């Protein structure tokens, strides 16, 4: 397979280790995680992006608007979703770039493991005197109401706490979470680098969720200025007058603009319109040449979800040999190099902070002959057609990536009919109608206890393959074990060997930073820098 080399953006640094940190309070094993991109490039030049006065209005350019400003309904928790949500919603906990969990709305926390079942009862105490941006106090009861709402809405993260969790206000500022299945990673999951469950909203918004369509109701540093915002295009934030730590607010205003084209985003930043933008592999070299600081870390992996449970006109996918054939048919190495150059990293399975799914003994090497043989054994030697929906707002990681995959699958007789959507709102709506066989999906590098309820549990709305009882059993054994890796490695082996997904390439999260802004930091364990940590440098 020959692909035109579209980018010579960034430099591949080498092997990345992602051990699980003890400070996250999760029982894990240390594992080697595959190659990753980790760029920290600074330059002393770039007069067009220089800053001589201290910046008072922070201007950020992102590639897509979130599908929802309601944290419970947002279809993701990284990159362009995390940036606006983190401005107006404080989380229960804060994760530092070093991976340490620190207090935010909650000041102390613990697992109550006094009973026979471990990691199923979690308790925390809230900070005293905190208010939401509408002036309503943050209490244990308001947090309980939010968590109940988060589960009830059936958003993609609703399964975080397992089946039928119980949330209880045990005091004015103390909350207890009781789960029917163990989850040792709640401090991380409920943090500002978690899955949005920790972004508590005001009781007023919980009682009337439609309010969050056009306004913010969190306890964060800022609140959205509705009169100066247009949903889907731009968002303006001003300081929250009730924020509990006013010195932490570094800007008088924050402006977030959606610019879907990566070249247009870079040009706007070069002209001085924005100080920080979400970058792209195809523009990283140009950004560095322009004098911008370029930072990147792996955010996750793009893969194809296979819908095996809905009537999507693809009964072929229910045959494991067909799914395995699709995995063998794709030349991931050539695609990664051809589309993304030095930043391209092929993926053969999920990679988490505490287990791996792409070990050499059970991943799929590129083998067209084997793919054709499996299709013939399954009764599809003449091939078939499949519909696919992709995210067109990720540059070369969108339709160009899907076109390359389609080219490889065509060689074994599988014809892809691709629908590309321009933003996350339209993509999420389309995908969750369950009318397409293949869904381009972006996972988030995280611990298994965060990954399982989102991608593997049958209760998740985006576990399109429908779940697997053997996987469920192995997950539960690991979550309650002092050595979870023993079970979770086997769980991922089961997931990969059954070919419930088609892994493709790693997705790096790029930040382009102009002079005058500090605090933008990413690494392999902390892949989304939040604007609440950024500050003006005055130089």
Distance CA 441, CA 389 (A): 9
- Sign of the dihedral through C-alpha 358, 359, 364, 367: positive
So what's the pLDDT on residue 12?
A: 29
Confidence of residue 47 (pLDDT cuts 50, 70, 90): very low
Distance CA 49, CA 535 (A): 16
Distance CA 200, CA 185 (A): 18
Residues whose CB is less than 8 angstroms from the CB of residue 49 and which lie 6 or more positions away in sequence, other chains included: 269, 270, 272, 290, 291, 292, 514, 515
Distance CA 23, CA 450 (A): 16
Residues whose CB is less than 8 angstroms from the CB of residue 155 and which lie 6 or more positions away in sequence, other chains included: 72, 73, 74, 75, 196, 461
- Sign of the dihedral through C-alpha 44, 49, 55, 61: negative
- Sign of the dihedral through C-alpha 394, 395, 400, 404: negative
pLDDT tens digits, one per residue of 472-522? 999 999 988 888 988 998 999 999 999 999 999 999 999 999 999 999 999
pLDDT tens digits, one per residue of 410-458? 999 999 999 999 998 999 999 999 999 999 999 878 888 889 999 999 9
So what's the pLDDT on residue 135?
A: 99
Distance CA 224, CA 255 (A): 10
pLDDT tens digits, one per residue of 48-59? 444 457 999 999
Q: Provide long-range contacts, Cβ within 8 A and 24+ apart, for 466-470.
A: 466/308, 466/309, 468/494, 468/495, 468/498, 468/500, 470/494
Confidence of residue 9 (pLDDT cuts 50, 70, 90): very low
Residues whose CB is less than 8 angstroms from the CB of residue 473 and which lie 6 or more positions away in sequence, other chains included: none
DSSP letter assigned to residue 230:
B
Distance CA 534, CA 400 (A): 33
So what's the pLDDT on residue 515?
A: 96
Collapsing DSSP states into helix, strand and coil, what is residue 342? helix
Q: Which helix (H) or strand (E) holds 469?
A: helix 469-479
Residues whose CB is less than 8 angstroms from the CB of residue 415 and which lie 6 or more positions away in sequence, other chains included: 383, 384, 385, 386, 406, 409
Distance CA 135, CA 129 (A): 11
So what's the pLDDT on residue 39?
A: 34
Mean pLDDT of 254-273: 98
Helices within 198-352 (DSSP H only): 203-207, 262-270, 284-289, 320-329, 332-340
So what's the pLDDT on residue 63?
A: 94
Is the pLDDT assigned to residue 191 strictly greater than 50?
yes
So what's the pLDDT on residue 17?
A: 28
Is the pLDDT assigned to residue 44 strictly greater than 50?
no
pLDDT tens digits, one per residue of 300-335? 899 999 999 999 999 999 999 999 999 999 999 999
Domains by residue range for the chain, with CATH: 14-36+300-507 (3.10.105.10), 67-215 (3.90.76.10)
- Give the rounded percent of residues in the chain with a pLDDT score beyond 70: 89
Mean pLDDT of 331-357: 87
Q: Give the mean pLDDT of the chain.
A: 89
pTM: 0.85
pLDDT tens digits, one per residue of 125-166? 999 999 999 999 999 999 999 999 999 998 999 999 999 999
Mean pLDDT of 169-189: 96
Is the pLDDT assigned to residue 298 strictly greater than 60?
yes
Is the pLDDT assigned to residue 246 strictly greater than 50?
yes
Confidence of residue 33 (pLDDT cuts 50, 70, 90): very low
Mean pLDDT of 104-113: 97
Is the pLDDT assigned to residue 381 strictly greater than 90?
yes
Mean pLDDT of 190-197: 95
Interhelix angle 399-410/332-340, rounded to 10 degrees, is 150
Distance CA 15, CA 335 (A): 20
Q: Which helix (H) or strand (E) holds 505?
A: strand 501-513
So what's the pLDDT on residue 417?
A: 98
So what's the pLDDT on residue 185?
A: 92
Neighbours of 239 (CB within 10 A): 17
């Amino acid at each position: 397979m020959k692909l035109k080399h579209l980018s010579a953006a960034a430099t591949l640094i080498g092997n990345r280790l992602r051990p699980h940190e003890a400070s996250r309070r999760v029982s894990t094993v240390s594992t080697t995680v595959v190659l990753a991109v980790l760029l920290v490039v600074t330059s002393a030049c770039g007069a067009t992006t220089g800053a001589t006065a201290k910046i008072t209005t922070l201007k950020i350019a992102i590639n897509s608007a979130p599908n929802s400003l309601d944290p419970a309904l947002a279809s993701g928790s990284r990159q362009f979703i995390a940036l606006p949500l983190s401005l107006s919603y404080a989380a229960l906990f804060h994760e530092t770039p070093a991976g340490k969990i620190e207090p935010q709305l909650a000041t102390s926390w613990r697992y109550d493991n006094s009973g026979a079942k471990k990691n199923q009862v979690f308790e925390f105490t809230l900070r005293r005197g905190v208010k939401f941006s509408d002036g309503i106090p943050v209490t244990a009861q308001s947090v309980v109401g939010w968590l109940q709402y988060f589960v009830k809405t059936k958003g993609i993260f609703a399964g975080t706490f397992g089946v039928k969790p119980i949330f209880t206000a045990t005091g004015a500022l103390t909350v207890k979470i009781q789960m029917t299945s163990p989850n040792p990673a709640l401090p991380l999951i409920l943090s500002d680098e978690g899955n949005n469950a920790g972004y508590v909203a005001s009781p007023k918004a919980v009682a009337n969720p439609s309010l969050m369509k056009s306004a913010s109701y969190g306890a964060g540093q800022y609140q959205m200025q509705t009169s100066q915002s247009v949903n889907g295009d731009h968002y303006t934030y001003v300081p929250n007058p009730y924020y509990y730590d006013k010195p932490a607010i570094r800007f008088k205003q924050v402006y977030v603009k959606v610019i879907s084209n990566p070249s247009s985003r870079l040009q706007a930043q070069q002209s001085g319109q924005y100080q920080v933008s979400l970058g792209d592999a195809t523009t990283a070299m140009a950004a560095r040449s322009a004098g911008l600081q370029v930072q990147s870390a792996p955010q996750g992996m793009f893969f194809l979800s296979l819908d095996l449970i809905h009537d999507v006109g693809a009964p072929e996918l229910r045959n494991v040999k067909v799914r395995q054939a699709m995995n063998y048919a794709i030349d991931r190495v050539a695609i990664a190099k051809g589309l993304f150059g030095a930043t391209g990293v092929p993926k053969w399975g999920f990679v988490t902070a505490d287990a791996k799914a792409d070990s050499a003994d059970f991943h799929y090497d590129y083998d067209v002959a084997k793919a054709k043989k499996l299709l013939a054994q399954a009764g599809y030697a003449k091939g078939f057609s499949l519909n696919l929906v992709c995210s067109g707002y990720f540059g070369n990681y969108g339709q160009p990536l899907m076109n390359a995959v389609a080219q490889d699958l065509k060689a074994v007789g599988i014809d892809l009919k691709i629908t590309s959507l321009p933003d996350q709102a339209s993509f999420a709506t389309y995908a969750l109608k369950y009318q397409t066989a293949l869904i381009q999906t972006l996972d988030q590098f995280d611990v298994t206890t965060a990954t399982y309820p989102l991608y593997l549990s049958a209760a998740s709305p985006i576990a399109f393959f429908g779940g697997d009882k053997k996987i469920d059993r192995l997950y539960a054994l690991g979550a309650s074990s002092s050595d979870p890796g023993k079970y979770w490695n086997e769980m991922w082996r089961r997931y990969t060997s059954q070919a419930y997904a088609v892994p493709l390439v790693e997705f790096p999260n790029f930040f382009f930073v102009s002079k005058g802004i500090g605090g933008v930091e990413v690494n392999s364990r902390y892949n989304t820098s939040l604007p609440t940590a950024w500050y003006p440098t005055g130089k």
